[in-house]
Structure 1
């Protein structure tokens, strides 16, 4: 505390004029005006600080805290109004760079002044400001700068920055550091928000950007071909992205991008796509892969931007296919005999499909709109018959030539490739045929004759299991309706052991509510099928578990084994691995990958201690109370628990195993996107990792046999055609 004797009291004017103003403020202003660095010797700084401190701690009526706080603001205000503002006004009209440099200099000086005054009056900030809920000295200084300087120069500064940016867009070299410094000033004037930056700079900047690119658009669209125009668009978008990184606020990036995309892409989209001599159709005809890929990537930025392009692709492929058909018609018109064997024509369709399938994969990233375009075009092509034989018959004869002895002289690999390609063309037509049950039986009958019973017996069995499954479900649902209600949704499926791959089936201890479901089904099954033995294969099951972490609930899509393990942590208990093993009755080979999926994967709903990416016998586990996720529905994959098979066994059962997994997944999920289904199959068949193209063939085979169907609205989405499919297999 300061001495309170009258002889030691510091009077306001004495302390202010003789010490604070003369020793600190006048020195600050003088050195800032002269452009020299400002610093105070430690002894001088302590003298000024102590004087301020004493003047703020003297007892009333000699406590000058309120007066010093007021004079602090007045000092800054007078300096800004009398010195800084006139200096800036002198630079207005002399050029944008001159004004911005002066503003940068004055803003830097103000920050220096604000810093030193805050140091000298620290005691005010700590006690007086806090006690009276006033703006801090730093905030008060910023507010004075905003009122006296910023509000008077912001429009000129914004115009100067816009002019510099336009100069850079035209290839000029500008002082980016200067622009960034002024942008930071706009940000600071928001006092903790971007309001000033947005209102005073960003909004007029975006308007100016729109006007700039509107002028460029009119110039480019008149002079440039579509490829040249799109190169300029790509360059402009990349430069604007870099511009944000170098000297604008990151929040401006999406807004700036949308303005540029709208002006130079959206408003001339159809002009570019249909431009005579260089539009999308011309690029397709001339195999301009790089230009097409650039067009695809740029238009993918727009809402619904790819649909017009996909329409052109569909129309173009249809024209190319009809050209093949017209060529066949010309040969027939010239007198060539019409017969059901025309390998030249079929190969032309196969080559056409193969070519544009590759285009869609490589250039259009297998986007669903372009896959649909290819599908639609070939549906029209295949159904555009000429002569007395349909295109389907011609393709069938071609397949026979490939397969039969004495036919096409092809290697084994060439035979497989030809059949793969003809299948991908012909399956679209087959998928539209009626009387599918008869067609299915006919297909299997032909395969049996060609390949033998051992090749078709499992497929016939799988088909029969799924065909009778609907009746089974209906009967069981009637039985459930008569029983006391249960709080779980349960959907079992009976499969015959010999037709489906064998799977490891651990005897896990099932919770009571799940056990009631199993017992209910067993009671019904034992009465309905007295001579069949029922075995539950829990490793094939799937479940949706409602989990609550904090105040938020999630639907966890897990396997049955994962669901049972999660149930063990419902009461918030902490369990060791060995303790969990005993309570669940699982061997460590099964339990370790199970707990790894819950505690070490992407979604850690269980916390493992000690934290690591490996499950050890000494680990302990508990529910993760801090778990959060942006998605409400979360799938938690689990590594396969199946033992590895010999190569011979894998080769023998691969197709059946893939189809079984596809059917099991789809019966559990009902509807799935193509890539999602591929990923699910790969995760469940990790023990032999089939190629995606092999999985796709098995999906198509199941679609042809009507186990699955494509969604009418989205060709990349599959729906279940028959019935629910879940957990159990009957012997």
Structure 2
């Protein structure tokens, strides 16, 4: 008897008569009988408390009768004994009977093991609380799991893994399998990692990845003769099926690894073959506008590292070849047509090509930066390929001129904005943007001075779009031109009041321009009519009073006039240039003059008088008769007013060829020189000392409006050294120092 009167329970008696007989044997009998109704009703409360109390008493007796160590040991032996005598043989019997049968047996045995583990932990709870903690031993649950891993899992894993892989392959081949069974067995693999996924990864995932690779390597060989779209549909379905498979019964960490294996086998290893198939590859899909197939191609190959690069390259080459076709068509046309700076068909073709493939990039390739760059590189190549006498910069500027001037394209306000948007997109690819600016400014000046602009708002809109692309410096002169006209209109109203006080037969108005904003024009010292001279004197006197420090220079070549002409019984209002008006005045009253006499009277040189008389005697409205009749002006010709002239229109506009070209290359070169030197000085001022190559590359980076030749940059550096802005380093000839 114990000192407190409590009876000491001997080990064998307590174990055999109480714990084994009342708990363990009953538990094993129930499990062997295929008990499937859960664990709650296996032991009633009274039974449970009796067994628990026996275990408790045996663990709390004083030494040497404290049986904690022995009970912990027998707990392990009980589980091991049950697993090796009942569970392992049952599983081995099922091996070879089919994967599903083996896995179902394993599922049952695993469930039973969890039940056994749970009840034994309940009976021996006191051991867990004190003995296990005190001796830092595995808990009863852990010990039970380890026992299962060593005696069952390690023995059977090769067979069960093969069974799982077999079922997965069956499902891949459209057979119906028991997914919940696999899910339960996968949970067993996860549990065998004792808190990590090591067992799952090594024993199931790795073999699964290998079998997946083999499976899809075979599929790849089966599918590769299909068309690219058909192949990619199958590939997409396979990837989706594998993703669902992981969601249905595998550990989520396997998804990325399995998909990577599938991607490598069915996409990466055959990407080149699929993309380059002649009748169904990427180029063919672009050619035939197969939007859905292109989207699928983009989706699938974006899964691979660098998988989109070959597709972007194909897009770039394809768009370049389409651009070359447009350029070659223009080249062919120029063999039979005269080259002009106006080719709307060509520019529209480029706009349409860009619009189409910009849409493809946005829709089919999700606006991916790689494809935006491919489109940009293709168009930089296309837009900078000039054919014939006129550059694409000039053709594009003239296209804008057609849209913005009255009598050009008949477009609504919305269509004008849309057209300008599209041409500015093309413009952004131009290397020599300054050439465009020079031509555009000249054409803008003509529209403004001849009052041929459809709308001031449209002009401002275009300038704003160019400003967004290239900055204020690019458009400052154009904005200055519009500002001049706005200011000028106020001054014109004031001057008109002054003109009402003057006795003159002419309606006379003047537009004052700021020299720096506008193009430079030829301005011949023509002999004016007395009336014109009188009006000019009135204006000069009025202007000098208002602006004493400003110098006026008259640009007769840019003026215009309306001249009333009477031919027979009909009178016409002729809209002409100032020079044409002076020539018509000289021919007034039916006088006949030779070319030489006319040149002397008007004080005009041959190069100006020839286009002037051509416009009046060889154009659509021949208001001057020329002898001999021909379409060319010679210095031996004679001119007189055309008494037989008649027209259905009462108001007629007689155009004259411009005396100034739309592109002043000398001016562009001067502007470029200034820009290069400014960039060099800016960089050197900030950096103080730089190597030649570094300076060169920084200058090229800074100059956005044109692509300067490195040799030209070198010349400008030499010029700045001569003017003592820079010096060569004494130690190294290829290093420059900034001189403040």
Please state if 1:263 is matched with 2:265. yes
Aligned pair partner of 1:83 in 80, 86, 106: 86
Partner of 1:373: 374
CA distance 1:200–1:454, shift in 2 (3 Å):
closer
Partner of 1:18: 17
On the 8 A contact 1:360/1:366 being kept in 2, the answer is yes
Q: Secondary structure at the match of 2:365?
A: coil
Aligned pair partner of 2:62 in 59, 64, 68: 59
Q: Give the count of matched residue pairs.
A: 469
Taking CA–CA contacts closer than 8 Å with sequence separation of 6 or more, which of the two structures ends up with the larger relative contact order? 1
Partner of 2:644: none
Aligned pair partner of 1:103 in 85, 106, 109: 106
In the alignment, structure 1 segments of 5+ residues that lack a partner are 468-702, 710-731
Q: What do the CA deviations read for 1:207-244 (whole angstroms, capped 9, x no partner)? A: 1111111111111112x110011011111111111111
On the 8 A contact 1:202/1:252 being kept in 2, the answer is yes
* Partners of 2:440 and 2:327 in 1: CA distance: 29
Partner of 2:322: 320
Aligned positions of 1:175-574 closer than 5 A: 175-222=178-225, 224-333=226-335, 335-429=336-430, 431-433=431-433, 463=472
* Partners of 2:223 and 2:155 in 1: CA distance: 39
On the 8 A contact 2:31/2:112 being kept in 1, the answer is yes
Q: What do the CA deviations read for 1:154-209 (whole angstroms, capped 9, x no partner)? A: 01111111111111111111100000011000000000000101111111111111
Q: What do the CA deviations read for 1:337-395 (whole angstroms, capped 9, x no partner)? A: 22222211211111111111111111111111111111111122122232222222222
Partner of 2:582: none
On the 8 A contact 2:72/2:127 being kept in 1, the answer is yes
Aligned positions of 1:524-673 closer than 5 A: none
On the 8 A contact 1:85/1:149 being kept in 2, the answer is yes
On the 8 A contact 1:4/1:59 being kept in 2, the answer is no
* Partners of 2:69 and 2:105 in 1: CA distance: 34
Q: Which runs of 4+ in 1 moved over 4 A?
A: 2-7, 431-460, 462-467, 703-709
CA distance 1:96–1:366, shift in 2 (3 Å):
same
User: Which moves more between the two structures, 281-290 or 435-444?
Assistant: 435-444
Provide the TM-score with structure 2 as the length reference: 0.60
* Partners of 2:217 and 2:446 in 1: CA distance: 65
CA distance 1:331–1:404, shift in 2 (3 Å):
same
On the 8 A contact 2:8/2:65 being kept in 1, the answer is yes
**Alpha-carbon shift at residue 329 of structure 1 (Å):** 2.3
Q: Secondary structure at the match of 2:224?
A: helix
Q: What do the CA deviations read for 1:677-715 (whole angstroms, capped 9, x no partner)? A: xxxxxxxxxxxxxxxxxxxxxxxxxx9995999xxxxxx
CA distance 1:464–1:206, shift in 2 (3 Å):
closer
Partner of 1:42: 45
Please state if 1:92 is matched with 2:95. yes
* Partners of 1:364 and 1:300 in 2: CA distance: 10
CA distance 1:392–1:28, shift in 2 (3 Å):
same
* Partners of 1:366 and 1:53 in 2: CA distance: 72
On the 8 A contact 1:4/1:58 being kept in 2, the answer is no
Q: What do the CA deviations read for 1:629-686 (whole angstroms, capped 9, x no partner)? A: xxxxxxxxxxxxxxxxxxxxxxxxxxxxxxxxxxxxxxxxxxxxxxxxxxxxxxxxxx
* Partners of 2:160 and 2:68 in 1: CA distance: 37
Partner of 1:527: none
* Partners of 2:337 and 2:435 in 1: CA distance: 35
* Partners of 1:294 and 1:136 in 2: CA distance: 53
- Kindly name which structure, 1 or 2, has the bigger radius of gyration based on alpha carbons: 2
* Partners of 1:45 and 1:136 in 2: CA distance: 20
Q: Secondary structure at the match of 1:428?
A: coil
Q: What do the CA deviations read for 1:588-612 (whole angstroms, capped 9, x no partner)? A: xxxxxxxxxxxxxxxxxxxxxxxxx
CA distance 1:464–1:21, shift in 2 (3 Å):
same
On the 8 A contact 1:214/1:263 being kept in 2, the answer is yes
* Partners of 1:118 and 1:466 in 2: CA distance: 86
